[in-house]
Amino acid sequence: MTVTTGLTVAQGSAIEKLAINTIRTLCMDAVQAANSGHPGSPMGMAPTAYVLWQRFLRFDPDDPIWGNRDRFVLSAGHASTLLYSLLHLTGVKAVNSKYERLGQPTVPLDDLKRFRQLDSKCPGHPEYRWTSGIETTTGPLGQGLATSVGMALASRWAAARFNRPGFEMFDFDVYALCGDGCIMEGISSEAASLAGHWKLSNLCWIYDSNQITIEGHTALTFSEDVATRFIGYGWNVTRVGDANDLEMLDRAFQVFKNTSDRPTLIIVDSHIAWGSPHKQDTSAAHGEPLGDNEVRLTKRNYGWKEDAKFFIPDGVYEHFRDGIGKRSKELHQAWLAKRDEYKSKYPELADYLDRMQRRLLPEGWDKDLPSFPPDPKGKATRETSAVVLNAIAKNVPWLIGGSADLAPSCKTRLTFDGTGDGKGVGTLLPERPGGRFAQKGPDPFSVAGDFSASDYGGRNLHFGVREHAMGAILNGLSLSKVRPFGSGFLIFSDYGRNPLRLAALMEIPVIYIFTHDSIAVGEDGPTHQPIEHLASLRAIPGLITLRPADAGEVVEAWKFIMQRRHEPVALILTRQAVPTLDRTKYATAEGLQRGAYVLVDAPNGKPDVLLLGTGSEVALCLDAFERLKAENIAARVVSMPSWEMFEYHCSKHPGYREQVLPSAVRARVSVELASMFGWERYVGDGGRMLGMNTFGASAPLKELQKRFGFTADAVVAAAKETLARRPK
Q: Which residues are catalytic?
A: 467
Q: Are β-strands 101-105 and 216-217 bridged in parallel, bridged antiparallel, or unpaired? A: unpaired
DSSP letters for 580-646: EP-TTTS--GGGGGGS-EEEE--TTS--SEEEEE-TTHHHHHHHHHHHHHHTT--EEEEE-S-HHHH
Alpha-carbon dihedral sign for residues 59, 64, 68, 71: positive
Q: Distance between CA atoms of 196 and 361, rounded to whole angstroms?
A: 32
655 CB neighbour count, 10 Å cutoff: 8
Q: Distance between CA atoms of 136 and 158, rounded to whole angstroms?
A: 19
Q: How far separated are the first and last CA of the chain, in Å rounded?
A: 82
**Helices vs. strands in the chain: H and E counts, helices first:** 27, 22
Closest CA to 611 of 499, 720, 483, 452: 720
Please tell me whether residue 375 adopts helix, strand or coil conformation: strand
Is residue 80 within 8 Å of 64, Cβ to Cβ? no
Label residue 88 exposed, middle or buried (CB < 10 Å: 0-12, 13-18, 19+). Answer: buried
Q: Distance between CA atoms of 59 and 65, rounded to whole angstroms?
A: 9
Closest CA to 20 of 57, 40, 50, 61: 50
Is residue 68 within 8 Å of 170, Cβ to Cβ? yes
Closest CA to 537 of 462, 614, 476, 602: 614
Residue 616 identity (one-letter amino acid): S
Alpha-carbon dihedral sign for residues 576, 579, 580, 583: negative
Is residue 87 within 8 Å of 101, Cβ to Cβ? no
Q: Distance between CA atoms of 246 and 339, rounded to whole angstroms?
A: 35
Element (H, E) at 483: strand 483-489
Strand partners, 175: 72, 204
535 CB neighbour count, 10 Å cutoff: 18
**CA angle centred on 385, ends 383 and 390, rounded to 5°:** 105
Is residue 64 within 8 Å of 70, Cβ to Cβ? no
Q: Distance between CA atoms of 94 and 407, rounded to whole angstroms?
A: 40
Q: Are β-strands 399-403 and 483-489 bridged in parallel, bridged antiparallel, or unpaired? A: parallel
**DSSP secondary structure code for residue 721 in this structure:** H
623 CB neighbour count, 10 Å cutoff: 18
